[in-house]
Structure 1
Amino acid sequence: MDDQNKNLILATALSFLVILLWFLLFPPEEPVQETGTVESVAETTTPATPQVAPLPPAAAPATADAPADTPARDRTADAPRLAIETPRLAGSISLLGGRIDTLSLSDYQETLDPNSDNVELLAPVGSTKPYYALYGWAPAGQLAYEDVPGANTTWTLESGETLTADSPVTLRWDNGNGLIFRRTISVDDEYLFTVIQSVENTTGESVRLAPYGIVARHGQPETTRFFILHEGVVRQVDDELEEIGYKAMPDMELVPREAANAEIAQVEQNGWVGFTDKYWMTTLIPQPGQPFTSVAKYVEAADIYQVESRLPPVTVAPGEAARTETMLFAGAKEWEAIQDYQKDRGIYRFIDSIDWGWFFFLTKPIFWMLHTLNGLIGNMGWSIIALTIIIKALLLPLAYKSYTSMAKMKELQPKMEEIKERAGDDRQKLQQEMMALYKKEKVNPASGCLPLFLQIPIFFSLYKVIFVTIELRHAPWVGWIRDLSAPDPSSILNLFGLLPWGVPDPGSIFAIVSLGVLPILLGISMWLQQKLNPAPTDQTQAMIFAWMPWVFMFMLGNFASGLVLYWIANNTITFTQQYAIMRSHGYKPDVFGNILSSFRKSSKSGGR
């Protein structure tokens, strides 16, 4: 391999190493992503919702049914509640505003401790981090806010007692002026609520009003704060997927009519809007084909992050009624469940609510294959190994050419050394004779680089899958590896549990040297694989390559166990393939013999 190609591989490897080091030690702030230009308020809000008052923040000021001298948290705590009980959800609905504001996920716990609490998704006003969904009607025409139900309306239960997958509940509110409102809430056996809002006009005049849904979060939630993952607002605006980070929301355009910083988008046919966390999501979903106004806003005065789906206003004639049906997803971002909702409910591109990243064309099929293998094998760790075997089998034709070329390069090393000695400092003569040698022996030194370039996007795509998808959360493999989405918990600092003291906390600077079993196996596998490759003739390059396996061992030691497991399996298979191919071409690599030989040479050099 000539110096140019060595430098190419070296530069690629070092760039990869620098990127990993920088991401580990200095994870950048969550990026501000473009969501399209927001036009003037008159151009964005007025046409879609003529004569409709803008919605207040979810923690709305007092109305006729919520006296100003009653604190919001007290009203929420004292309000009657309806229980939510499904196979996968547990929580309650407050009759104050009809809010879905208490919800936990029965299948997910906070930690691996069997006594750990279930993951809490939604929480009411008055809790540490209020997070809830509510629905209502915005007044239009001659109506005022006290004429329509909102955040502080006290509903009564008309039918049902407990919301289950088989029994919906219906709430009722009479405004006392001839309008009767009902809200029927149902839920399936996964994570999808259906909300039907209706209004009956018993007055002698037509009324005009617009239904809406809100998801609100009080205060900025805790996030992973890692560049590879989006957390914040995610929404589909027809064919465009838009993402807005929490830190970007206070910097959105100030819309005086909304009294908030807001991004307002008109959805013509297909869309949804909500908040996404690493593993959980709460999303408002109008019916497919339903136009609506999608709003993401931050109310600085109340420190509320809020998304809204505002449906067009309706006119209800005297003696008539109007109804609207929307959906609410509140639960875990499980690929299979979200895929089913997209297919069965027609929710457009709902699967893209999972953050697949820039390499979505790789992450999606990689996850599909991993998910399929896990369904057959029943263990994510073994599924990762099986996935690695499949990827290596697909790349085998290319790898065969690469390893054949590297075997020939190994055989040509003595001749290359002779050429280097003859050429001396004459770089031009060295290059010419090297190229002549390659041509004569029919060797392409660049062919060994292609597998390296293919491995990099595959590596990052698999890292994205392991980091983002909930299917690997708390997924065990063998023995001490009980969570493939977390680093190897064993540590060389206490001899892998044989000594009585603990280890540094994950994320601390000292955790980098707290190597577990998997990172050590990774370093060994990289080192063995390196011994089959042609050694650089340049001493500086040779030293850098010699240290690289051990540097990567420390670098990847705090990555997810599933990713390290993939890398070990990949290196082991690569070593086996390369060794077999080199043997088949008459070259018999003596890995450990080469090691001992190198050790003896270095010892003699030190003795002199």
Structure 2
Amino acid sequence: MDDQNKNLLLATGLSFLVILVWFLLFPPPPPEEQVADSAQISETQPLTAGDGVATAPSQAPDGSGSAAAPAGTTVASAADAPRLVIDTPRMEGSISLLGGRIDTLRLKDYQVSLDDPEKVTVLSPVGSPAPYYALYGWAPGQGLSLDDVPGANTEWQLEGGDRLTADTPVTMVWDNGNGLVFRRIVSVDENFMFTIAQQVENTGAGTVSLAPYGVLARHGEPTTLENFWVVHEGVISMADGELTEIDYSSMVDFEINPAEGAQAEVSQVTENGWVGFTDHYWMSTLIPEPGSAFKSVAKYDARRDIYQTEAVMPTQTLSEGQTAGVTTQLFSGAKEWETIRDYQAQGIDRFIDSIDWGWFFFLTKPIFWILHHVHQLIGNMGWSIIALTLLLKAILFPLAYKSYVSMAKMKELQPEMEKLKEAAGDDRQKLQQGMMELYKKEKVNPAAGCLPILLQIPIFFSLYKVIFVTIELRQQGWFGPFRDLSTPDPTSIMNFFGLLPWAGPEPGTLVATIAIGILPLCLGVSMWLQQKLNPAPADPTQQMIFAWMPWVFMFMLGSFASGLVIYWISNNVITFTQQYIIMRSQGYTPDVFGNIKSGFKRKSKAEEK
């Protein structure tokens, strides 16, 4: 078992090594949150007609009517248009009365970085470095043209107040002059959810048909795009229980959809769904009323480099004197687990899945749930990760106990196994048969030590996902220099492990990989000590690999999030303690210091030769 267990450890270690090399070669760049530059927003560079703004849906869901791109605007007209203020406990921004666009939104609770107090910007207007906005309107159907319905450049008028707060909604109105009066009532809650009620009244003669829609438009790829496979960024949609994730690069490869007149992917939602864009920590999502059908569209306009999602509701027909309307919601803010969970409880189907839980979601979700509640009790994320490690080790303790008991018994059988090796010589088949008979006689299962090791792999990646993806760990500290556990260790030999008052090398650089911090160093030492619970393998090649493995892992994991390295150090320390105590209770005392001394002796002999 000793050799087999070492082979398993070797294979597991090499598997980790391959994945870690990938992380090293393709690390995520340091995130730089989008901040709108007010100076650039005010610049006036005219755009040609039809450019610079998102397009309306090309036709109503029933195929009636058609529409070209809405009339173009200029940065000057967009910047000069009247605005109404958005001011809630957690958000600030404004809505442009040109098109009624929700196009300026900042989050009061989140700053760009620990050293930059600028608030995180979620939505930005046309004319800013990265325009990203929501707009609403009606797609014309029978008896109507584009001029008869509100779109991206409609000049709305206010009815009542010009300040949107959690307690005071705002109402916009537009009369098309041909018998249709449109109203839009916008309200917002204390978190990140807008409610948009669109109404139309037919005061003229004749019957008309039209379809309400909502659009999220993003000009170009986001400046904050990380392009790291651990977290999805791009379109995210839910359609009748089926989650779809589309990267920006995949949208560029969409086939031309004749109905949409652009590169688009269209799906019909019969009952429940939503569609929008997700970033690492932020998201904007169009949410039709639960239980209603709509057309979900993901679109890319290559000519203007605009990424777009649409929710187009069913066509409504109005006779003279009738009024129709639809109410939808817009989420635009931080992907907080508790906030999104509460919205799901209010009827938004599977909204919690907008957080990227990954392949091991069945582990990632409960691990996050435990960590979240432990953090609420402790109040410090570093200690919460250590407490989570203790809880996970406690859950796995029965398996670990069996594993270490089996390893202790295998140590007792070591002399007899050596005799079998001498008797078998080069006959591998005879050796294997003899070992199997010995295992059967002594009632020892050689695979008993494998399961705890194998279970660590999905737990490791699930915790990595939790630490990297969830906003609850963003800018959460531990103590001293460890101010953000979602980023790599900021200490280095270059700042004497955080004792000197300057920053270490930039994460992801070669210097940062070599000049490692205190956490990766502790990780390497803990792995090295854990190895010393057992004598080194007799095979020289295995000896060399095992001797180098802790230090290779030390450098590799140095570029990982600090919170994950804390977990791995805690796991190693607890594992070492458990294994030492359990093996002693079974009559075998690991000779840690003896194994360390013998390791140095072998090195000195090799150097003499």
Normalised by the length of structure 1, the TM-score is 0.92
Q: For this pair of structures, how many residues does the alignment match? A: 581
Q: Distance in 1 between matches of 2:222 and 2:431?
A: 61
What does residue 219 of structure 1 align with? 220
Which position in structure 1 is the counterpart of 2:71?
61
Q: CA deviation at 1:588?
A: 1.6
The question of 1:20 aligning with 2:25 is answered: no
2:99 is equivalent to residue 93 of structure 1: no
Unaligned runs of 5+ in 1: 30-43, 63-70
C-alpha deviation, 1:370, in angstroms = 0.8
8 A contact 1:261–1:299 mirrored in 2: yes
What residue is the counterpart of 1:310 in the other structure? 312
Counterpart of 2:131?
130
Give the distance between the partners of 1:441 and 1:147, measured in 2 at CA. Answer: 88
What is the deviation of 1:605? Answer: 5.3
- Could you tell me which amino acid in structure 2 is paired with residue 49 of structure 1? D
CA distance in 2, matches of 1:290, 1:513: 56
Closer, same or farther in 2 for the Cα pair 1:54/1:384, shift >3 Å?
Answer: farther
Q: Secondary structure at the match of 1:92?
A: strand
Spell out the pairing of 1:385-400 with structure 2 (5 A cutoff): 385-400=386-401
Q: Distance in 1 between matches of 2:265 and 2:318?
A: 30
The answer to whether the Cα contact below 8 Å between 1:27 and 1:226 also exists between their aligned partners in 2 is: yes
Distance 1:545 1:602 in 2: 13
Identity %: 66
Distance in 1 of aligned mates of 2:334 and 2:487: 18
Among 325, 328, 333, the alignment partner of 1:326 is 328
From the superposition, tell whether residues 550 and 55 of structure 1 become closer, same or farther in structure 2 (CA, over 3 Å): farther
CA distance in structure 2 between the aligned counterparts of 1:281 and 1:501, rounded to whole angstroms: 34
Equivalent residue number for residue 39 of structure 1: none
SS at match of 2:421: helix
Q: CA deviation at 1:54?
A: 5.1
Equivalences for 1:231-246 in 2 at 5 Å?
A: 231-246=233-248
Pick which of 429-438 and 299-308 moved more: 429-438
In structure 1, the partner of 2:148 is 147
**1:300-344 residue CA offsets vs partner (Å, 9 max, x unmatched):** 111100000000110111112111100000000000000000002
* 1:476-515 pair list within 5 angstroms: 476-497=477-498, 503-515=504-516
1:534 Cα deviation from its structure 2 partner: 5.5
What is the CA–CA distance in structure 1 between the aligned matches of 2:152 and 2:429, rounded to whole Å?
79
Alpha-carbon distance in structure 2 between the residues aligned to 1:552 and 1:183: 58
Mapping 1:457-606, distance limit 5 Å: 457-497=458-498, 503-533=504-534, 535-604=536-605, 606=607
Which AA in structure 2 matches 1:303? D
Q: What CA distance in whole angstroms lies between the structure 2 residues aligned with 1:364 and 1:24?
A: 27
Q: Is the 8 A contact 1:201 1:316 kept in 2?
A: yes
| 1:536 Cα deviation after fit | 2.6
Distance (Å, rounded) in 1 between the aligned partners of 2:128 and 2:269: 34
The corresponding residue for 1:283 is 285
The question of 1:50 aligning with 2:63 is answered yes
Amino acid at match of 2:101: R
Q: Which AA in structure 2 matches 1:489?
A: P
C-alpha displacement at 1:378, in angstroms? 1.3
Larger displacement relative to structure 2 (347-356 or 370-379): 370-379
- Counterparts in 2 of 1:153 and 1:215: CA distance versus 1, 3 Å: same
TM superposition outliers: structure 1 runs of 4+ over 6 Å: 44-47
Deviations 1:549-577 (A, max 9, x none): 11111111110011111111111111111
User: Which AA in structure 2 matches 1:61?
Assistant: A
Specify the alignment match of 1:228 in structure 2. 230
* Cα separation, partners in 2 of 1:407 and 1:534, compared to 1, 3 Å: farther
CA distance in 1, matches of 2:443, 2:399: 17
8 A contact 2:58–2:260 mirrored in 1: no
CA contact (8 A) 1:135 1:213 kept: yes
Q: Cα 1:46–1:605, aligned 2, differ >3 Å: closer, same or farther?
A: closer
TM-score (norm. length: structure 2): 0.92
Q: Secondary structure at the match of 1:399?
A: helix
CA contact (8 A) 1:54 1:258 kept: no
Deviations 1:128-178 (A, max 9, x none): 000000100110001000001000001011122210000000001111111
- What residue number does 1:68 align with? none
Please state how far the C-alpha of 1:514 moved relative to its aligned partner.
2.1
Change (3 A) 1:604 1:548: closer
Measured in 1, the distance between the counterparts of 2:127 and 2:78 equals 8
CA distance in 2, matches of 1:126, 1:498: 45
AA of the residue aligned to 2:454: F
Q: Tell whether the 8 Å contact from 2:490 to 2:498 is kept in structure 1 after alignment.
A: no
- Provide closer, same or farther for how the CA distance between residues 520 and 19 of structure 1 changes in structure 2, counting only shifts above 3 A: same
Query: Residue type matched to 1:77 in 2?
Result: A
Aligned to 2:295: 293
Task: Work out the CA distance in 1 between the residues paired with 2:445 and 2:539.
Answer: 20
Alignment partners' CA distance in 2, 1:534 and 1:323: 76
Q: Residues of 1 paired with 2:462 and 2:58: CA distance?
A: 40
What is the one-letter code of the residue matched to 1:262?
A
Whole-Å separation in 2 of the counterparts to 1:47 and 1:311: 8
1:270 maps to 2:272:
yes
Deviates more, 1:534-543 or 1:491-500: 491-500
Helix, strand or coil for the counterpart of 1:90? Answer: strand
Gaps of 5+ in 2: 30-56
Preserved CA contact (<8 Å) 1:410 1:533: no
Q: Contact 1:27–1:225 at 8 Å: present in 2 too?
A: no
Judged with a 3 Å threshold, the aligned counterparts in structure 2 of structure 1 residues 122 and 293 are, in CA distance, closer, same or farther, namely: same
Q: Secondary structure at the match of 1:445?
A: coil
Q: How far 1:594 sits from its partner (Å)?
A: 2.0
Task: Give the deviation of 1:282 after TM superposition.
Answer: 0.3
Closer/same/farther in 2, CA of residues 586 and 54 from structure 1, 3 Å limit: farther
Whether the 8 Å CA contact 2:141–2:210 is kept in 1: the answer is yes
Structure 2 SS opposite 1:106: strand
Task: Pick closer, same or farther for the CA change 1:436–1:513 going to 2, 3 Å.
Answer: same
Range moving further from structure 2, 166-175 or 527-536: 527-536
| 1:397-412 superposed matches below 5 A | 397-412=398-413
* Equivalent-residue separation in structure 2 for 1:49 and 1:353 (angstroms): 29
Question: Does structure 2 conserve the Cα–Cα contact (< 8 Å) formed by 1:406 and 1:533?
Answer: no
Cα offset for 1:372?
Answer: 1.1
Deviations 1:4-31 (A, max 9, x none): 55434322320121111113213699xx
1:70-95 deviations in Å (ceiling 9; x for gaps): x5211110000001000100000000
